[in-house]
Amino acid sequence: MMRTRTLLWTTLLAAGLGPVVASASPAVGGGSTPAHTSPGVPGGETLARAGLPQVLFSDADALLAARAQARSGAATSPALGRLRAQAEQALSVGPFTVTDKPQRAPSGDTHDYLSLGRYYWPDPTKPDGLPYIELDGKVNPETETITDKAELQKLLSAVSTLSHAYFVFGDERYAEHAATLLRTWFLDPETRMNPNLEYSMIHKGHPEELGGSGIIDSRDFGVVPEALGLMKESKAWSAEDDAQLRAWFTQYLDWMLNTPGGRAEAELTNNHRTYYWYQAIPLLLYTGQEQLADDALRGILLPSLEEQIEPDGSQPRELARTKPFSYSVFSLIAWSRVATLAEARGLDLWHHEGQDGRGSLRRAFEYLLPYAYGEQPVTDNPVMPERMHDFARLLHRAALRLEEPGWIELSRSLMGSESDVLELDLIVAPPTR
């Protein structure tokens, strides 16, 4: 734990930021919320009065209202009907494990997570194709032959759905299956993942590039602390389970924050850095390192927000990619999650504006509105229309935070017959895609 503190302070000082003062706050799941909430940050007092765990990504008031509605015996809303259906489906998935993939990591250890870089292809000019070369934006189907990434995404999605459904409906089956999924992936000696991503998104023929960029594979690890907080009333997850998982994530954070691959990812200046801290901050809170989490929010992410979003709302590092609209939306997913996470720590990023309007989330959304209204064509090649739905879902949350009712109407229009998903997103903030 001391190594983690040393590295983060080194990072802050190297960035010229110096010490950052942040109020001490309880760990996630501790049953209370920080006293230093920002004006306009919803949900904190409601949760504290209810004696419920702090949530980091879901809307506290929406979650409590959903629970009250579900347990009142009255007819439920379409959003709750969708949640119930998703939870029932999640009961049939898994358990998942890194040990059942068809090939092993270069280490030879079946417990090591393995994935291939999505945009790396065999070099056609080389007999063996090595080393692989990068074709940005073009996904190599070979990546799908290794199952760890897909199974991790399914695991985190199921755990998030099940835990929120347990909190809302009180059905023990949901908590029990979520606990089984977590134990299998993280704790069982026969099936557990080693607490590192040394072999994630490897580039064949580039042994010097092990680890680092693949941290984005596990970007949704941060949904686990919220899930466990929502399951605190269930006996399905024991104190011993929790102690073991905290130890696992402590080791994982040590790898993430203190190895060359982890540090290299943190030093990037695009969406990878944002997703890095979107993942790390909830885990720091879960493992009792609240001060470090607050230091990262104020000392790293706040300056990074101003670095990545220009005064006109554009994100040049994402616009430079082969799919500029998709990457701009993907980056905004991360920033919206970080802003929601920051709310729980008393920091309002939704309304932040730096010098000349730099680092404004409002302006970043406004920059993409012409594409949503059809006034500007989406030029991604190939076009990824599903990102328009992602943008609609982001826009709905942003509209509530920034008090833009017109954006709510637009988001509903973009979602069409699936507009109930917008309400469900407030109850269960889904893992990112």
Instruction: Please give the single-letter amino acid code of residue 280.
Output: A
Say which residue the tokens 């949503």 belong to.
372
Where residue 55 sits, what CATH number does that domain have?
1.50.10.100
pLDDT at 385: 63
Burial of residue 242 (CB within 10 Å: 0-12, 13-18, 19+) is middle
Q: Which residue in 62, 197, 218 sits closest to 152, CA to CA?
A: 218
- Show the DSSP H helices in 55-205 as ranges: 60-70, 78-90, 148-169, 172-182
Count of domains in the chain? Answer: 1
What is the mean pLDDT of the segment spanning 332-336? 97
* Whether pLDDT at 42 is above 90: no
Instruction: Identify the weakest region by mean pLDDT among 45-49, 244-248, 285-289, 304-308.
Output: 45-49
Query: Which residues, in sequence order, are CB contacts of 350 under 8 Å at separation 6+?
Result: 339, 343, 361, 362, 398, 401, 402
Instruction: Indicate whether 23 belongs to any domain.
Output: yes
Instruction: Indicate whether 278 belongs to any domain.
Output: yes
pLDDT at 16: 34
* Whether pLDDT at 91 is above 80: yes
Instruction: Indicate whether 433 belongs to any domain.
Output: no
Tens digit of each residue's pLDDT (9 = 90 or more) over 218-242: 999 999 999 999 999 999 999 999 9
- Confidence tier at 52 by pLDDT (50, 70, 90): low
DSSP 233-265: T-SSS-HHHHHHHHHHHHHHHHHHHHSHHHHHH
Instruction: Indicate whether 88 belongs to any domain.
Output: yes
The two beta strands, 133-134 and 120-121, are: antiparallel
Tens digit of each residue's pLDDT (9 = 90 or more) over 398-427: 999 999 999 999 999 999 999 999 999 999
User: d(Cα 233, Cα 125) in Å, to the nearest integer?
Assistant: 60
Q: Name the residue with higher pLDDT: 106 or 393.
A: 393
pTM of the prediction?
0.86
Instruction: Indicate whether 432 belongs to any domain.
Output: no
Instruction: Indicate whether 132 belongs to any domain.
Output: yes
Range of the domain at 106: 2-427
pLDDT at 7: 43
User: d(Cα 324, Cα 192) in Å, to the nearest integer?
Assistant: 37
- Confidence tier at 102 by pLDDT (50, 70, 90): confident
pLDDT at 211: 55
Q: What is the chain's mean pLDDT, rounded?
A: 85
Q: Which residue in 318, 418, 424, 304 sits closest to 368, CA to CA?
A: 318
Tens digit of each residue's pLDDT (9 = 90 or more) over 168-220: 999 999 999 999 999 999 999 999 999 999 998 887 877 665 655 688 899 99
Say which residue the tokens 């406004």 belong to.
366
Integer angstrom CA distances of residue 66 from 27, 63, 423: 24, 5, 10
Instruction: Indicate whether 235 belongs to any domain.
Output: yes
Instruction: Indicate whether 52 belongs to any domain.
Output: yes
User: d(Cα 20, Cα 9) in Å, to the nearest integer?
Assistant: 9
* Whether pLDDT at 34 is above 50: no
- Confidence tier at 383 by pLDDT (50, 70, 90): low
- Is omega for the bond preceding 95 within 30 degrees of 0, making it cis? yes
User: d(Cα 268, Cα 6) in Å, to the nearest integer?
Assistant: 20
Instruction: Identify the weakest region by mean pLDDT among 64-78, 293-307, 409-423.
Output: 64-78
User: d(Cα 59, Cα 61) in Å, to the nearest integer?
Assistant: 6
